[in-house]
Amino acid sequence: MMQLALEVGQTATPEAVMFWILGPLAVLAALAMLLVKKAVHSAILMAFVMVVLAVFYIAQDAVFLGIVQVVVYTGAVMMLFLFILMLVGVDSSDSLTETIKGLRPIAITAAVGFGGLMVSLLGRATLGRDAIGLSAANADGNVEGIGYLLFSRFVWPFEVISALLVTAALGAMVLAHQPRSSKKSTQRQQSINRFRGESLATAAGLPAPGVYARHNAVDVPALLPDGTPAPNSINASLKARGDMLDSNTFDLKKISTQVEEEK
């Protein structure tokens, strides 16, 4: 077992250096999280704080928790946050203007009071003995120790939490589910729409973009057999964004048809 916290109570110098570098950085990142305007920047700073906490866990002989912190928080939870941010997008709630009058001074005063209380309490609290350290508890390894506790003393909470996980998954599905606004068209209806539609020209489907043109790209219109480009072969959303190339440049008449002989 790697021994990171060497002394009992007192920590080793490398850990102190690590702490005094990463600790202030974490607090600064957390503060910046409140001050930056964009929610995405907040998420990135949050991920940084979580990584720092993972380092702190590992430095305190909680190797398993440190790895879990990286995997679960910076891996899964923060990616979920970013995903939802992408889904919800940016709106007026990103601005930092104060909507409830006098809220900010009150919040800051309360925070200073609370933080001061906590810090002064911690400063005055005495344990009456030295910290013990985890070298004895981690004798068989950190993962083994936690696993032993999970399946002996904490087996009931462990089982209950599995029920919680299943319930949360179900709840998320129920909440995120949206009933269909229009009825799903059947295969029969789709077929009728295709052949009894406005024209029969597209009954066999639209040409795929790019594949008949000079190079294989979705923003290049297909060339029809007579050499004219087919602009309707390009995806409508690409067209709407203006991300398509001009069809005329791909007209066969303008492209040199001479084959250069390779030597």
Instruction: Find the binding residues for other proteins in span 66-95 (CB under 8 A).
Output: 68-69, 72-73, 76-77, 80-81, 84-85, 87-88, 91-95
* Interaction mask 156-195, other proteins, x per CB under 8 A: -x---x--xx-xxx-xx--xx-x-----------------
Determine the distance from the C-alpha atom of residue 156 to the mean position of all C-alpha atoms in its chain, rounded to a whole number: 32
- Selected from 70, 138, 210, 250, the binder of other proteins by CB under 8 A is 138
Q: Which amino acid is at 78?
A: M
Stretch touching other proteins by CB under 8 A, among 41-49, 207-215, 226-234, 235-243? 41-49
Contact 214, 255 (CB under 8 A): yes
> Least CB distance from residue 175 to other proteins, whole Å?
4
Return the structure tokens found at 248: 């005329």
- Selected from 6, 21, 107, 206, the binder of other proteins by CB under 8 A is 107
51 binds other proteins (CB under 8 A): no
- Selected from 21, 131, 192, 217, the binder of other proteins by CB under 8 A is 131
Closest CA to 245 of 226, 224, 222: 222
Counting Cβ atoms within 10 Å, is residue 210 exposed (0-12), middle (13-18) or buried (19+)?
Answer: buried
Ranges of beta strands (E only) in 56-155 are none
